[in-house]
Chain A
């Protein structure tokens, strides 16, 4: 056996700022095609539930476009998540510089996810990897499949088309030092109709770094497809874990029954 590394289930916590009286608080939301569809509640209590259900890792994304290293609401949230759970945290949304990595790590993040910043300043991928190690640098890639079937990478919350295809951009960021990819089909976000395994598989087969597939989980079966057909190392889901009558534990049993190596107990 070459490795006994397990496939991962990764709840994705999308965070917006909500004013309650005089206090601004971070609120867990779900989205559909990157538009907020619903407030779910307190991200920390939700994260603790996920931890108890054996989630393997958490992705925390600030989707309000604020500069995260100056955003005490987000930084405070990361601090609380790192204090109250003992699981890996990948944090992103509004990362503007390599120094921001240091701020986020200092507050308790383990990995930092960049998206638009990587498109605007691809050289920063290398700089961040040299300082923090490649394992710390997650590049998040949002794409939309156009009428001709091209998976076109979009920046700025999946609103701004670029000249990159998902495959070319994935190979490029991997060459520049990215340690992991978070690949999301924006059109499928929150729809629950299934993951885009075709695009993910093409990317996963072309790079040697781990690939997280995201966007569209509605059934436990979709996770199995993400691993088997998408060749992904991890499946990230937001709406699925927040609302469906499913949790990481039940989903895990389904995945194990399909013969996929996954963590079942601690």
Chain B
């Protein structure tokens, strides 16, 4: 795999103890970025891009994030400064209003809608949705154009169907059609794991870094 690095990028990964930060770090370093873990609001200064990861139950991640002391800095980044931020997996789901996984814990509500359990279908669809599935781009995103299809690695049981017009940039199907990538202005989020999706994942991340 040839990285084709994007020069001059300084990526911060929000470290709220919920996510495989190592793999994300490695993927961005592969693309030539400097990567720092953000534990304190001040560490978000001097960055060019911010990443919100998330592995685990929705409620666990949401509560950890709320207690991290970083929410003010993250909101400042995303809304006041309007700088690029990428949510990954549960880091994407957290942008919704709520999730069936943890109904009592609210999401951030940056992108309206609810995260729902994927319904298993006997003999056809197993849940969790684990493995490589085809993503169809409905709009251009980084190096992908509308109509492109590519395989990305998924590992989740709950999925976000973003209802807002133009919000879903790429979709995927597993019993239901759900949002694989959502975007609202400077906010981008993916349900799959780009850091685990080999060449396709690196290509997606390169697009994020270039923006």
Give the B-binding residues of A (Cβ under 8 A): 1-8, 51, 54, 56-57, 79, 82-83, 86-88, 105-111, 130-136, 179-180, 205, 208-210, 233-234, 263, 266
Contact = CB atoms under 8 A, between A and B. Distances in A.
Contact of B131 (A8, A205, A266): A8
B197 interface: yes
Nearest to A130: B57
Given A5-B174, A131-B60, A135-B156, A208 B127 contact: yes
A236 to B, nearest CB: 13
A234 B131 CA distance: 9
Contacts of A132: 55-57
Interface stretch (B20-28, B70-78, B80-88): B20-28
Contacts of B195: 86
B198 A266 contact: yes
A86 B128 contact: no
Given A4-B173, A106-B22, A210 B128 contact: yes
A219 to B, nearest CB: 23
B26 A86 contact: yes
Contact of A56 (B129, B131, B201): B131
A175 to B, nearest CB: 13
A79 B131 CA distance: 22
B57 A86 contact: no
Given A110-B23, A135-B156, 11 more contacts: A2-B173, A4-B133, A5-B132, A86-B195, A110-B20, A130-B57, A130-B60, A133-B56, A133-B90, A133-B156, A208-B127
Contact of A135 (B26, B60, B121, B130): B130
B125 interface: yes
Contact of A266 (B23, B134, B151): B151
A266 B56 contact: no
A208 B20 contact: no
Nearest to A6: B132
A133 B173 contact: no
A110 B196 contact: yes
Ranked nearest first, the 10 interchain pairs of A and B with the lowest CB-CB distance are A266-B199, A135-B128, A208-B120, A4-B134, A108-B22, A3-B174, A6-B132, A5-B133, A135-B155, A179-B128
Nearest to A209: B126
A191 B202 CA distance: 38
Given A134-B157, A233-B126, A105 B131 contact: no
Contacts of B56: 131-133, 136
Contacts of A263: 132, 151
A79 B26 CA distance: 10
Nearest to A4: B134
Interface string B22-61: 1100110010000000000000000000000001110010
A109 B55 CA distance: 11
Interface string B86-125: 0000100000000000000000000000000000111111
A209 B128 contact: yes
Contacts of B153: 56-57, 87-88
